Structure 1
């Protein structure tokens, strides 16, 4: 499993080189092979005898953090969706994106996102999960803003990252709380200790933070506002991120922790309410849109709300329906996004007001759209998989297992009606999408391009997805016991009786609800132009987008005012602020926590030579600060370094003395070499208040460092490692100079990276010198 997660990242490294030959061979072909290989590797686990698989790799053993990958029914479902839909989207992008595009950038971002999503759904370690979680936010930001020359793309990318990263930080808080309570970083081990979490006084905070992370990622109301703006991304990105993967990461998180949290009544109240409200609001707002991808964006919001609501219900039927709809939604929504991309590609527009009558010009695309959109609408036909999971949603809404008192009791009574209401508008926007695009009078004169059927390469991927819609609809048993049932068991946390999926159950309440949806949905779809003015009143002028924009604008404005207050170009001010902050925070923290400790019991006796050297060093340090000549300042500062070497000699530390002499000599020489070429030092006259402040900060910071050094020496929390170095420096390092052996052997990596840092700084300085603008008179 580790190889499967790392494979996309490994190929991402080579994409910039492969993209150089994009004129001869499109890099998308290489990228398509990666998800295909991953899909083939994992699809072999499908079967009635599937057992979870666990693989563990050492990561940070000193902190008890290891890379643990856990493959159960739920993660298998998502892995196959990520890799399967990923392969189809990668192949589709070959024909959608022109070779003049920055294909190298696109496929690097694409592969990073794919690997991150695989890491999210396979990780059993919470910190590994969080790391991959944030990688999905970062890579999706890059994918959404791929066309960065468009202001809308930049806006949508920033909006999605701000909201999802905010949720990610909330998720991190919940994970830290749970790991501290359970003393483990394993998700499975946390779930095994669910009572410890449920009975904790921090449980309300944990639940809130966890669900905040899930809701922002899966575009639940009121955090859904980022998803429509993310439609500025290329259509392959929308088909991948916003139908099968990224937006379902929040769904996955709730499903993964359902065995632990679903027994809480607050979990039922919050998740069910958020899901059902999102379903109704998303489906209602979808009918208002005029952009095809805008319609699909709000339809995705509504469908995610339905899945989230079923997870909130928590019953066996609801969990099974939620898992089943995750699969169904990926098939019909992925194909619809690709259909929208084909229409945009072949007509030059996605504005549904300029479309219509395209069935004649794009017959194959229209055929694919009719199956996918009718499946999304939940039309009761046996060859449409969307109907099955929609009916399970209705059934689960009628058989809730929550407390019949209080708010949860009210929810139990109102949820079935809201489920029907949201589904009615789902039917309306599905019909609106299909009939508004493919039926009616063709408006060829309003189109930027004369429409014609897409090339076969663009049709292959939606064909496969629509074939999935039909096959699952006709033969649901193929994915039931061998696939869906295992995923539902992982979510529920207990073994489930095999659910028999059939089209006809008789005239039962769920079927009556489906008929109600079709009848009222058809009436509203036909009369859509007559009642759409209602949007002038609801939402009217109310807009969560305006709230978001106002919040971001005010944050930027006020932070700009604060920043300009101290960022005035004065290096002296910057240094004062940095040192003052360190002084105040460190001193206060150590004082409050009893960090200052003075112990003189094990110090050497101080004699007159040591006092003389120390006084000389103090005078040299003061002289360095007062001199007006750079060369003199460097030479006087060297007295401090050589004085320290003398102290090492007096206290019988010849190795340290030799090392200090070498370092001090080289440093003084380099300073002299550099400062010789600089202009003469001119000290500016400063107000008395600034001079006093400088003295206070300097003396205070020096006192702080002195106390830290004394306290560090006086506080012996651990056994000193010096004895180990004394005993093993010659035996293991082969050197008599203990200090040099420590630097070169025992701490060789530290020294190496220090050299690397200095080398990078030297190259940066060299680059600045080379880029320096020549004087006009030269």
Structure 2
């Protein structure tokens, strides 16, 4: 299974080489086989009543962090969507992106994202899941900003990354608290400790942090603002990331952790309210848009809110409806994004105000759009899969605990949001393909797209129709297993088009009736947008926050980046002193014990007194050479102590280093200005005194505490016993440096060598300039 996850990343390493052949063969043709092979691998698990499959690969076992891949019905659903839609998107991109584009970069980013998403949905280890989660944010940043020469692309990419990574870090905090509470990093083992988690005092923080990560990734209100700006990405990216995969990562997270949190009342309240609010706001704002991809972006927001609300309900009917709509949404929304790309590609614009009457020029595209938009609108036709899951959604809202005000209001809000869903769906189709032609406003003369560009949306629309005609084909062998992974109580119930003239159907008819009226009279009531949202804008709030952060961070940076080396050292040492001292004091890190200490003789005392006098003397010395020589006394004193304590090899090293250091100091100080009397203020001198004395005292206490502490078993016996056996030497220190820590020593030598080469280069550069 790890091969299925990592193969896109492995192939991505060869894309730069393959892209050199793009003049002869499009790079996407090589890439197409990657998601297609992954899709075929996961298809073999369909139709099985299989027990979940787990594969473990060691990574950091000491911390319980391993590549634990877990395949159940839920992860299988998402793996098939990621690979299946991925294959169709790559096929679409072959005809959408010209060979003059930076195809190598595009497909590297796309395959990186594919690996990240597969890792998210298949990981059972929370920290591995988080690693892949943040990789989705980074790779989507690269994909959204693919056309980096456009300012709006850079803006959208940065916006999406800031918001989603903010949520990811929050989610990481929740994962750490879960680890603390349960003592495990496995999600499945956490599910077995539901009572422990629900009884924990950390539950509000855990729930809040994890929900924040899910809401930001799945563009839930008020974090939805990144998704419309992400539409600056190429259409294949929008069709893949923003309809079928990345934006559903948050839904996957909620679904995966539902068995843990569904027992909390706050889970129902928060997730349901955020979801239903997002549904209403996203559908309401979609009607306001004039860019085709912006309409689809807000429609995606509303559809994600609808699924999020159903997961929040937590009932068996709602969970099944949510899983069903995840599949349906991927089919009709993916096809509509591709349709929008075709319109842009063939007309040169996505502005719906310049479009109209295109059904005569793009008849196949119009047919695909008809099925996609009507399915999205939930029109009651037996060959539209969107109608089934929308009916199940309405039915789920009617079976909530009606004793609470929230449960009573949700059905009305569901109808409100669905009305605007119908309006923007009709607005998209009829605004583009019917009405008067405006050929004079189009940058290009419209014509039907090539068959290669039509293949992918045709496949997706075929999925819309087949699932609509035969909904139970994907029910028992596929959706039921996925729903049971979220709520084990979900049972099989046959999906049918006609259930009688029941309440959900009445709600659908109300939606259609009011939706038709609002669509026909859209220009008359659209002025309502000047009132709500009016001048209010969450985008402005985001822009102001980012701007203020830039100003504040700039001011803070300028306050300490003064160009003074002395100030930098003071800040570093003071920070180290304060943080280390406070942390060690809080954790009782200072331990003073006087056992197992050697006797102190007059010789050691004499050497230390000389060293102290020499160290203090450097402060009052105003002559360069005198200061260096007096400071050298301190170093030689340390070497003498090594001799006294019978460490001749270390003493010899100290003598050599001290001699070389003194010589280098003398050489350097010869070219520096002479020392002069300090002109610092009394406050600066007191600060220097505090830092120097405090830091010295801290290091002394750390050294004594390290000697006095016995937290771990001493490793010295191991070196004594094995140095000769493993290293073949009686000098333990040398064996450690050369054999047991050979790589450390090698890289230390390499660093010194690189530094020496750099110095030689600088000297040579100076000589060359002097010669000129």
Fold shared per TM-score above 0.5: yes
- Quote the RMSD (CA, aligned, Å): 2.5
**In the alignment, what sits opposite 1:417?**
412
Deviates more, 1:601-610 or 1:45-54: 601-610
Residues 338 and 627 (structure 1), Cα distance of their counterparts in 2 relative to 1, 3 Å cut = farther
- Report if aligned partners of 1:380, 1:387 keep a CA contact under 8 Å in 2: yes
Residues 706 and 442 (structure 1), Cα distance of their counterparts in 2 relative to 1, 3 Å cut = same
**In the alignment, what sits opposite 1:296?**
296
- Report if aligned partners of 2:332, 2:464 keep a CA contact under 8 Å in 1: yes
Deviates more, 1:755-764 or 1:17-26: 755-764
Give the Å deviation of 1:27: 2.1
**In the alignment, what sits opposite 2:466?**
471
Pick from 510, 535, 538: which aligns with 2:504? 510
Mapped to 1, the partners of 2:598 and 2:267 lie a distance apart of 64
Aligned partner of residue 58 in structure 2, secondary structure: strand
Residues 676 and 453 (structure 1), Cα distance of their counterparts in 2 relative to 1, 3 Å cut = farther
Give the Å deviation of 1:725: 0.8
Pick from 712, 720, 724: which aligns with 1:718? 712
Mapped to 1, the partners of 2:182 and 2:434 lie a distance apart of 59
Deviates more, 1:23-32 or 1:507-516: 23-32
**In the alignment, what sits opposite 2:434?**
439
TM-score, with length taken from structure 2: 0.95
Aligned partner of residue 59 in structure 1, secondary structure: strand
Residues 645 and 349 (structure 1), Cα distance of their counterparts in 2 relative to 1, 3 Å cut = same
Mapped to 2, the partners of 1:232 and 1:677 lie a distance apart of 60
Aligned partner of residue 345 in structure 1, secondary structure: helix
Pick from 731, 735, 738: which aligns with 1:744? 738
CA displacement 1:628-672 (0-9 Å, x = unmatched): 777776666555444333322211123433444555566667777
TM-score, with length taken from structure 1: 0.94
- Report if aligned partners of 2:624, 2:675 keep a CA contact under 8 Å in 1: no
Residues 339 and 418 (structure 1), Cα distance of their counterparts in 2 relative to 1, 3 Å cut = same
**In the alignment, what sits opposite 1:8?**
8
**In the alignment, what sits opposite 2:681?**
688
1:547 partnered with 2:553: no
Q: Which blocks of at least 5 consecutive residues in structure 1 are unaligned?
A: none
Q: Which blocks of at least 5 consecutive residues in structure 2 are unaligned?
A: none
Residues 159 and 604 (structure 1), Cα distance of their counterparts in 2 relative to 1, 3 Å cut = same
Mapped to 1, the partners of 2:593 and 2:396 lie a distance apart of 70
Give the Å deviation of 1:370: 1.0
Aligned partner of residue 55 in structure 1, secondary structure: strand
Give the Å deviation of 1:50: 2.7
**In the alignment, what sits opposite 2:560?**
566
CA displacement 1:272-324 (0-9 Å, x = unmatched): 11111111110010000000010000000000011011111111111111001
- Report if aligned partners of 1:659, 1:740 keep a CA contact under 8 Å in 2: no
Residues 629 and 460 (structure 1), Cα distance of their counterparts in 2 relative to 1, 3 Å cut = farther
**In the alignment, what sits opposite 2:46?**
46
Aligned partner of residue 358 in structure 2, secondary structure: coil
Mapped to 1, the partners of 2:347 and 2:763 lie a distance apart of 53
**In the alignment, what sits opposite 1:255?**
255
Give the Å deviation of 1:336: 0.7
1:597 partnered with 2:591: yes
- Aligned residue pairs, count: 771
Give the Å deviation of 1:761: 5.7
Give the Å deviation of 1:749: 3.8
CA displacement 1:456-489 (0-9 Å, x = unmatched): 2211211111111111111212211111110001
- Report if aligned partners of 2:296, 2:337 keep a CA contact under 8 Å in 1: yes
1:60 partnered with 2:71: no
Mapped to 2, the partners of 1:31 and 1:667 lie a distance apart of 58
Give 1:518-529 correspondences, 5 Å limit: 518-529=512-523
Mapped to 2, the partners of 1:764 and 1:16 lie a distance apart of 32
Mapped to 2, the partners of 1:776 and 1:732 lie a distance apart of 54
Residues 660 and 392 (structure 1), Cα distance of their counterparts in 2 relative to 1, 3 Å cut = same
Give the Å deviation of 1:680: 5.3
CA displacement 1:582-615 (0-9 Å, x = unmatched): 1122223323433222222222122233334334
Residues 687 and 530 (structure 1), Cα distance of their counterparts in 2 relative to 1, 3 Å cut = same
Mapped to 2, the partners of 1:202 and 1:533 lie a distance apart of 47
1:92 partnered with 2:92: yes
Give the Å deviation of 1:95: 2.0
- Report if aligned partners of 1:182, 1:190 keep a CA contact under 8 Å in 2: yes
Mapped to 1, the partners of 2:229 and 2:374 lie a distance apart of 25
Aligned partner of residue 594 in structure 2, secondary structure: coil
1:656 partnered with 2:655: no
Aligned partner of residue 70 in structure 1, secondary structure: strand
